[in-house]
């Protein structure tokens, strides 16, 4: 199975190293400025085995090995949103590299929502678990590469897209053309908002490289995670360049009613709304996750 690919940018554009995790179908990225060897890590995965409760850093260490081998310097560790299907390794990589962590400012709304679901009154829901919170339209740099932040809600309240040169990191908004688009039925999700976020992404230049956060390998093909605006407009199975908002919302909501929740959603959110921090050890030195029962009513069973 292909679990690594390097997308070479044109002169003045980023190189993008993608690392696929078959356990969670997730893609982690190292985005590189070739001129300065600066890089940003986007959506790193902390390994978790729900059957044994074991955690590990295999995938995050793979990123660190690549960064060291290529002589790169990490300037940012970026999350696109609080993930429901894997733990974030952002805090682990911050501790290893010293690079600041960041996410969209609307994460505070996600924290407030899940604070109620977990009955977690002491949770700080101000986003202070990250070093920086981005607003829609904010700009910054990775080396000499310009970066623009787009708020892309719909999948979650806090989802953002990072546009780095000619590359856009859309995570759980648009998937590969043969799979379609992201679900919008998580707490705080909205198919209407998702449609508008997709339209904003499709308004980027047609040659913009789009990098998704998951690939589910329909029909058993090899994993892929890069496309372009042009390809998505013309070939996405959800007819993104043709459907009206109403037609897309009907399609998306009908499909979401058939989907079971991700198997790690209740595990992962209590880690990821803390920026990738595991629960503090209790008096016996062990860490514990809290799983609320019947918290996501109406979800389909597998």
CATH of the domain at 104: 3.60.15.10
Contacts of 131 (CB under 8 A, 6+ apart): 94, 100, 101, 102
Q: What is the DSSP string of 33-72?
A: -TTT-EEEEES-EEEEETTTTEEE-HHHHHHHHHHHHTT-
Contacts of 38 (CB under 8 A, 6+ apart): 32, 72, 73, 74, 75, 142, 143, 144, 145
- Mean pLDDT value across residues 55-61: 98
- Mean pLDDT value across residues 67-86: 98
pLDDT digits (tens, 9 = 90+) for 106-152: 999 999 999 999 999 999 999 999 999 999 999 999 999 999 999 99
pLDDT over 90 (residue 297): no
Q: Angle formed by the axes of helices 58-69 and 90-97, to 10°? A: 40
Q: Which pLDDT score, from 0 to 100, does residue 302 have? A: 79
pLDDT digits (tens, 9 = 90+) for 189-241: 999 999 999 999 999 999 999 999 999 999 999 999 999 999 999 999 999 98
Number of H helices, E strands in the chain: 7, 16
Q: Is residue 24 part of a domain?
A: yes
Q: Is residue 287 part of a domain?
A: no
Radius of gyration for the chain, computed over Cα atoms and rounded to the nearest angstrom: 18
Q: Which pLDDT score, from 0 to 100, does residue 277 have? A: 98
Q: Is residue 46 part of a domain?
A: yes
As a whole number of Å, the end-to-end CA separation of the chain is 26
Q: Which domain holds residue 125?
A: 4-272
Q: Is residue 282 part of a domain?
A: no
Q: Is residue 194 part of a domain?
A: yes
Q: Is residue 55 part of a domain?
A: yes
299 band by pLDDT with thresholds 50, 70 and 90: confident
> What domain count does the chain have?
1
How many Å apart are CA 79 and CA 110, to the nearest integer?
14
Q: Is residue 155 part of a domain?
A: yes
Q: Is residue 289 part of a domain?
A: no
């Amino acid at each position: 199975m292909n679990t690594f690919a390097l997308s070479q940018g044109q002169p003045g554009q980023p190189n993008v190293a993608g690392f696929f995790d078959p356990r969670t179908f997730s893609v982690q990225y190292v985005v590189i400025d070739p001129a300065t060897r600066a890089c940003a890590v986007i959506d790193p995965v902390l390994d978790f085995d729900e059957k044994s409760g074991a955690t590990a850093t295999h995938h995050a260490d793979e990123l660190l090995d690549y960064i060291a081998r290529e002589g790169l310097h990490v300037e940012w560790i970026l999350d696109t949103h609080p993930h429901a299907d894997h733990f974030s390794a952002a805090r682990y990589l911050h501790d290893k590299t010293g690079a600041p962590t960041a996410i969209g400012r609307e994460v505070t709304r996600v924290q407030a929502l899940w604070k109620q679901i977990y009955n977690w009154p002491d949770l700080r829901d101000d986003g202070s678990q990250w070093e920086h919170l981005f607003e829609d339209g904010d700009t910054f740099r990775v080396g000499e590469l310009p970066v623009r932040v787009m708020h892309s809600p719909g999948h979650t309240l806090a989802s953002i897209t990072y546009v780095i040169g000619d590359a856009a990191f859309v995570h759980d908004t648009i998937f590969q053309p043969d799979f379609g688009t992201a679900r919008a039925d998580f707490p705080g999700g909205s198919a209407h908002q998702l449609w508008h976020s997709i339209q904003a992404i499709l308004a980027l230049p047609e040659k913009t490289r789009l990098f998704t956060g998951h690939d589910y390998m329909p029909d058993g093909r090899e994993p892929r995670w890069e496309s372009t605006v042009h390809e998505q407009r013309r070939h996405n199975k959800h007819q993104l360049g043709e459907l009206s908002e109403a037609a897309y919302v009907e399609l998306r909501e009908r499909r979401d009613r058939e989907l079971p929740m991700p198997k790690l959603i209740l595990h992962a959110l209590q880690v990821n709304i803390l920026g990738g921090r595991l629960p503090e050890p209790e008096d016996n030195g062990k860490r514990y996750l809290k799983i609320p029962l019947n918290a996501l009513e109406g979800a389909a069973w597998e």
